Amino acid sequence: MRVGAAALALLLLATMSMTIPAFNGDGGSVYAQTTDALSRFIGRSPGERDETDLLKGKVRKGPSLADRLFGRRMNGGEPEQRALGKIFDTPPEESIKEITQVPPGPVALSDPIPSGLLPLGDVGTPPAATVGGPPLGFPGGIGTVVPPGTTAGPGDPGVSPPPAPGVDTPVAAIPEPATWAMMLIGFGICGAALRRRRRLITEGLPSVARCEPA
Amino acid sequence: MRAGLIGALLIAVAVIAGGFIGNHIIAAVPSEDAAHLVNGERVQAVSADNVREYLTPAQLDTAIRGGLLPAGTKSLLKTDGKMQHGQYEWHDDGVPPGKLTIWVDLRTQLISVFRGGHEIGTSVIVYGAETMQSPIGRFPILSKHRDYHSRAYDAPMPYSMFLTTTGVALHGSPMSSRRATHGCVGLPVQFARLVFNSAKLGDEVRIVRSETKAISAGAQPAGS
């Protein structure tokens, strides 16, 4: 009885070895019967190259560390904006009105200045109407900015009271050393990024392909 | 009853043994007399026949017209499915020495090395980017340099085989689907070494861009 069971099992195995490719050790022959050689030749190809893939750097797989730390959400399809370090407020409406009230034609040097604009040769000396008032024009612009409340006249050597609360302290025209350092570091980072990017992606003129001058 | 069972057992053993011998021993013996019909002529099969396959005349005609294969192709290497960047096959056993024909298809990103019409090597390539496209055409190998170093890009170009006077070459390269070259055809370094050792000056390199229609038509199963 035991011999009979063994014989049946072997017969079953023999039948399977003749019909199932995995058992006869030559699955390729069955595969060859179902698909032709040309299809397999074409099937070798990894596909056409997508040019856009070449332009991508490292793929960002999730939110950055800064996003996770500060709980920011990923931008939903919008381009990411990076603001400059300093943000300049929009000028007050009064200054815009004063600019638009300037007559369009040329103004003679002898003509009186219609508003708080400084006359030529008197840069740094505010007109009497502006003394004690808020500074006119764009804060932080190039030029001497006189803090409110100062007279800045001869014989009054620059001892100015602290600014009143609620009034912005004017920004110095010349950047601080820390600002210079930050700018130089930024240039360095940009240069390093460009250098690294140049290694990753190819570049050049579309004229003549040349890997190396022969 | 017992004798019948023993007989069945012996038959089963014989069937299994016969199947094993037929699949693994007889099929692996190179058949010197085997020949295949390609384009109406009998092509003598090479000895390592278990790694090659043969196209029908209709398939070969389709492949040649679509720019997939050079005229005179006699056999192809058997490969398993899609190849990845860095993967290659090389089997030149039994293929008689002779002039190489190197077929580079930019669309399929494949290179095939033929000797006497028999494909002896294939690999995935990297080629020139859009801004620095690889040239299309027929080029002889002008010069060979085993350890060339690019002066323009300060990059190694092992096993360089220059095709043009402007610096386009076949050479070993790091392989990635995201890589492109400055017009050269980059190969896996080991594959480039094999091609370098087999190729001679003047051997022909054809750089083509096959037609999409041919690919789609050829990808249809046989008989459809």
Q: Which residues of A touch B85 (CB under 8 A)?
A: 46
And the tokens for B101? 């024909």
Confidence of residue A70 (pLDDT cuts 50, 70, 90): low
The mean per-residue pLDDT over the stretch B126-153 comes to 92
Count interface pairs A-B at CB distance under 8 A.
198
Of B56, B79, B221, the CB nearest to A44: B79
Confidence of residue A68 (pLDDT cuts 50, 70, 90): low
Could you tell me if A195 lies within 8 Å of chain B, comparing CB atoms?
no
State the Cα–Cα distance between residues B66 and B159, nearest whole angstrom. 30
For the cut 90, the answer to whether the pLDDT of residue B112 exceeds it is yes
CB contact under 8 A, B168 and A209: yes
B16 CB neighbour count, 10 Å cutoff? 17
Of B79, B129, B160, the CB nearest to A54: B129
Beta strands in B23-87 (DSSP E): 35-38, 41-44, 52-53, 76-77
CB contact under 8 A, A17 and B19: yes
pLDDT of the residue at B108: 93
Poorest-confidence range of A3-17, A72-86, A101-115, B76-90? A72-86
Confidence of residue A211 (pLDDT cuts 50, 70, 90): confident
DSSP B161: E
Q: What number of CA atoms fall less than 13 Å from residue B129's CA on the CB side? A: 20
Beta strands in chain B (DSSP E): 35-38, 41-44, 52-53, 76-77, 88-90, 100-105, 110-115, 118-124, 137-140, 143-150, 155-162, 169-172, 185-187, 204-208
And the tokens for A131? 């003394």
Contact yes or no for B189/B86 (Cβ under 8 A): no
Q: Which residues of A touch B133 (CB under 8 A)?
A: 206, 209
Could you tell me if B32 lies within 8 Å of chain A, comparing CB atoms?
no
pLDDT of the residue at A128: 43
Q: Closest-CA residue in chain A for B106?
A: A48
Q: Is B156 helix (H, G, I), strand (E, B) or coil?
A: strand
For the cut 90, the answer to whether the pLDDT of residue B201 exceeds it is yes
For the cut 70, the answer to whether the pLDDT of residue A25 exceeds it is no
- The percent of residues in chain A predicted with pLDDT above 90, rounded, is 7
pLDDT tens digit sequence for B181-190: 999 999 999 9
Residue B213 parent element (H or E): helix B212-218
For the cut 80, the answer to whether the pLDDT of residue B175 exceeds it is yes
For the cut 70, the answer to whether the pLDDT of residue A74 exceeds it is no
What global pTM score does this model have?
0.50
The mean per-residue pLDDT over the stretch A127-151 comes to 43
State the Cα–Cα distance between residues A83 and A61, nearest whole angstrom. 24
For the cut 90, the answer to whether the pLDDT of residue B7 exceeds it is no
Whose tokens are 């370098």? That residue is B196
State the Cα–Cα distance between residues A51 and B179, nearest whole angstrom. 10
Q: How far is B149 from chain A (nearest CA, A)?
A: 9
And the tokens for A158? 């620059």
Instruction: Return the domain boundaries, chain A.
Output: 2-35
pLDDT tens digit sequence for A29-53: 433 443 578 888 888 888 888 877 6
Q: How far is A22 from chain B (nearest CA, A)?
A: 12
State the Cα–Cα distance between residues B153 and B149, nearest whole angstrom. 9
Q: Which residues of B touch A31 (CB under 8 A)?
A: none
State the Cα–Cα distance between residues A67 and B146, nearest whole angstrom. 49
Could you tell me if A44 lies within 8 Å of chain B, comparing CB atoms?
yes
Contact yes or no for A211/B183 (Cβ under 8 A): yes
- The percent of residues in chain B predicted with pLDDT above 90, rounded, is 46
Task: Tell me which residues of chain B, numbers 156 to 215, contact chain A at a CB-CB cutoff of 8 Å.
Answer: 157, 160, 162, 164-169, 171, 177-184, 215
Of A42, A206, A212, the CB nearest to B131: A206
Could you tell me if B88 lies within 8 Å of chain A, comparing CB atoms?
no
Confidence of residue A126 (pLDDT cuts 50, 70, 90): very low
pLDDT tens digit sequence for B24-33: 444 443 343 3
pLDDT higher at B36 or B190? B190
Contact yes or no for B192/B158 (Cβ under 8 A): yes
- Angle ∠(A66,A70,A74) on CA atoms, nearest 5: 70
Closest C-alpha among B18, B55, B176 to residue A36: B55
The mean per-residue pLDDT over the stretch B189-217 comes to 87
B116 CB neighbour count, 10 Å cutoff? 17
The mean per-residue pLDDT over the stretch A114-137 comes to 45
If you count them, how many residues does chain B have?
224
Q: How far is B35 from chain A (nearest CA, A)?
A: 17
DSSP codes, chain A? -HHHHHHHHHHHHHHHHHH-HHHHT-HHHHHHHHS-HHHHHHHT------HHHHH--S---S--HHHHHHTPPPPSSSPP----S--PPPPPHHHHHHHHTS-SS---TTSPPSSSPPPTT-TT---GGGTTSPPPS-TT-SS--PPTT----TTS-S--PPPPTTSPPPPPSSPPHHHHHHHHHHHHHHHHHHHHHHHHS----SS---SS--
Report the complex ipTM. 0.72
Mean pLDDT computed over every residue of chain B:
81
pLDDT tens digit sequence for A152-205: 444 444 444 455 454 456 666 777 889 999 999 999 999 999 999 887 765 554
Residue B61 parent element (H or E): helix B57-65
Closest C-alpha among A11, A37, A17 to residue B24: A17
pLDDT of the residue at A200: 72
